[in-house]
Amino acid sequence: MQGVLGVYRELDAACDAIRALRAARVAKITAYTPTPRHEFEDALGHATSPVRRFTLIGGLLGATFGYWIAIWCSAYWPLVVGGKAMKSWVPYTIFGFEVMVLIGGLSTVFGMFALSRVPRLVTTVGYDPRFAQGHYGVWAEGAPEQMRTIEETMRRFGAVEVRGER
Amino acid sequence: MTAGSYPPDGVPLRPNVASADIQLPAVRDYEQVDREIAGTLSPTLGWFGALGVAILLFLWGAGTWIYQIYWGLGNAGYTPPVMWGVYIITFVFWVGIGHAGTLISAILYLFRAGFRTTIYRCAEAMTVFAVMTAGLFPIIHIGRPWKFFWLIPYPNWRLLWPQFKSPLVWDVFAILTYLTISSTFLYIGLIPDIATLRDRETNPVRRQLLAILSFGWRNSDTEWRHFTRAYLFLAAFSTPLVLSVHSVVSFDFAMALTPGWHATIFPPYFVAGAIFSGIGMVFTIIIPIRRFFRLQHYVTLNHLDAAAKLCLFTSMVVGCAYLVEFWVAWYSGNAVEQHYFWNRVFGQWWWAAWIMLICNMVLPLSLFSQKLRRNTIWLFVLSIFINLGMWFERFVIVVPSLSHEFEPWQWGSYTPSWVDLSLLAGSFGWFFMWFLLFIKQLPVVAISEVKEIVPPKFRHARGAHGRAH
């Protein structure tokens, strides 16, 4: 995909450039920042991350499995101690809880990776190592006729470097 | 070689004058954060020396374990009726140490406590290595470590399943979940920092390795958006997990009909003790690190002061639990329980009980003094006493109860053998070996989170909160 990468020293400059690009109806904009900043979320106008759905589904599956493994094993291989109930929900809540946390936590991480498209094998296109350090970046993809407008917009807001990549 | 000179060039030395707006006054920009924290990764002679000592201790412990496996568990100093000793004590001790990491990284994250930012990475790594250490001791204790997997429920040809009403099986689930979630939490937080190291690295081989470890992280808005939510949910999951794991460990004792053990106070008592001991170990680790890595302007006296207040609070909770135990024994009217507690403090085990009470209840009261809360030498010395006191707390829980049960003919004594003590020393070697390896491979202070509290550069002048003037 063809695009333009702008490198910024200042946070507000990068955010202003993003707002201007959105106003110019640029289709795909990616911001790079060394640390999460709410200013970028506001400028890009993204919805809340759906990672929570993975957490909920994983947690429910984990809790179900935790209770089920304890109940099923006790029924399959009865170990009666002190005349206590074979399927005892109080101690089995420990398994329900622990496996809920385990599967819920791991599915949260899976959700984060899947939604972020991580692991990523190629980091070179539309990326600059400075974005992990002190600079902010804006990568904009668009039709070939938009490239000139994108470059001019990025320069107007004080980009220290603007380069086209594909 | 350590990080850049301290204080940084051109910056007035006022690292401990902070406000709600500026937490790290001596840290100017993101580049300084990268340079100074990445600078801590170069190995030094002192680090090699410390690692050598840790490896020697570990090898001594490992050799002793092989000796014990060959000659049998009889070498461990167990004498009927005391068939739980140093191994179970050390297991509970290390699990406890592992609790402060998740408390600091997850619970304080949810509470938005600013002082956690620069110390949580150390605490998280400490948690993972402490739980790795703790997990070895039940395996050592069973004497035939190759049969450990019998505790795990899996389909097998014997058609055998574990007893799900046994606290030992609860332990397996709790500890494995805790180890997995703590390791995941640590690694997820490390990914952006590994990406930073990758982008600074000039050696192509190391750069490739760091690229793999960072999963190709690019600091894009999409990655951060999902990362921050996932981190929040992991913190929310880890918080009750911290409380549950040591509660489950306390059930190993509380479920038994043994004087001093069969008490409903045990879960909160164990959790408070675990957090207290973990904060003690955080001080033991972080104070030398900030000194030798020259990170005084990251881990400031304000941060240590706040952590010391948490230490004082948990010490008082633990002290309250000690006193409630005595009160319950007296109020119960149960002669066996009363006699047991008398024996614990004024009888056979007085010396262990008083080490526990002085180290955990009395000495931490010094933290009411702000001067001492900001004195790193005192905090370090106190942390050693807390570690000692918390190990003896577990000694006092395990040994006096088993040596002084209901009938006088059941009474006995216990002396750890050289095998026990070697494995205890080996556990410290194992723990510090991993920790020392960690601090020279990966950043001990979270680079991306520190950057969050360093004011970014703006084109137009802003106030302290980033609002345009």
The first and second tokens of residue A101, run together, are 């946390």
Q: What ipTM is given for this predicted complex?
A: 0.94
Q: Which among B30, B227, B230 has the least Cβ separation from residue A34?
A: B30
Question: Phi then psi for B324, rounded to 5 degrees?
Answer: -65, -40
Mean per-residue pLDDT for A75-95? 86
Where b means 16+ CB within 10 Å and e means fewer, B232-251 reads bbbbbbbbebbbbbbbbbbb
Segment 354-373 of chain B within 8 Å of chain A by CB: none
Give the C-alpha separation, B422 to B419, whole Å: 5
Domain boundaries, chain A: 3-48+127-165, 51-116
Give the per-residue pLDDT at A166: 75
CB contact under 8 A, B227 and A31: no
Minimum Cα–Cα distance from B223: chain A residue: A116
Quick one: pLDDT at residue B18?
A: 46
Q: Which residues contact A160 (CB under 8 A, 6 or more apart)?
A: A7, A8, A9, A135
Mean pLDDT across chain A, nearest whole number? Answer: 90
Place of tokens 């004011």: B455
Residue A99 clears pLDDT 70, i.e. is over it: yes
Q: What is the per-residue pLDDT for B182?
A: 94
Q: Looking at the partner chain, which of B216, B222, B234 has a beta carbon nearest the beta carbon of A121?
A: B216
Cβ separation of B227 and A112 shorter than 8 Å? yes
Percent of chain A exceeding pLDDT 70 equals 98
Query: A109, B230 in Cβ contact below 8 A?
Result: yes
How many Å separate Cα A144 from the centre of its chain? 29
Please give the pLDDT value at position B189.
94
And the tokens for B399?
A: 């040994």
CATH 2.40.10.220 fits A3-48+127-165, yes or no: no
Give start and end residues of each alpha helix (H) in B14-119: 30-38, 45-71, 86-102, 108-110
B244 contacts A98? CB cut-off 8 A: yes
Q: Note whether B115 contacts A: Cβ–Cβ < 8 A.
A: no
pTM of the model as a whole: 0.91
As to burial, measured by CB atoms within 10 angstroms (0-12 exposed, 13-18 middle, 19+ buried), residue A61 is middle
pLDDT at A83: 79
Q: How far is B55 from chain A (nearest CA, A)?
A: 32
Give the span between the Cα atoms of B210 and A71, in whole angstroms.
Answer: 44
Question: Within 13 Å of residue A72, how many CA atoms lie on the same side as its CB?
Answer: 11
State the DSSP string of B184-198: HHHHHHHHHHHHHHH
pLDDT band per the 50, 70, 90 thresholds, residue A88: confident
* d(C-alpha B392, C-alpha B367), whole Å: 21
Residues from chain B that touch A117, judged by Cβ atoms under 8 A, are 222
Strand order in the sheet with A3-8: A28-32, A136-141, A3-8, A161-165
CA separation for the pair A157, B4 (Å, rounded): 34
Spans in chain B with pLDDT lower than 50: 1-7, 13, 15, 17-20, 464-469
Q: Which of chain B's residues have a Cβ under 8 Å away from the Cβ of A88?
A: 165
Count CA atoms closer than 13 A to B170's CA, side-chain side.
20
- Whether omega before A119 lies within 30 degrees of 0, making that bond cis, reads yes
- A113 to chain B: which residues are within 8 Å by CB? 215
How far apart, in Å, do the first and last CA atoms of chain A sit? 5
Could you tell me if A97 and A110 are in contact, meaning their C-beta atoms sit under 8 angstroms apart? no
Please indicate if any CB of chain A lies within 8 Å of the CB of B241. Answer: yes
> What is the set of domains in chain B, with CATH numbers?
30-453 (1.20.1630.10)
Q: How many CB atoms lie within 10 A of CB B143?
A: 15
Backbone angles phi, psi at B461, to 5 degrees: -60, 140
Among B residues 260-319, those touching chain A with beta carbons less than 8 Å apart? none
What percent of chain A clears pLDDT 90, i.e. is strictly above it? Answer: 61
**SS3 state at A140:** strand
Distance of CA B28 to the CA centre of its chain: 31
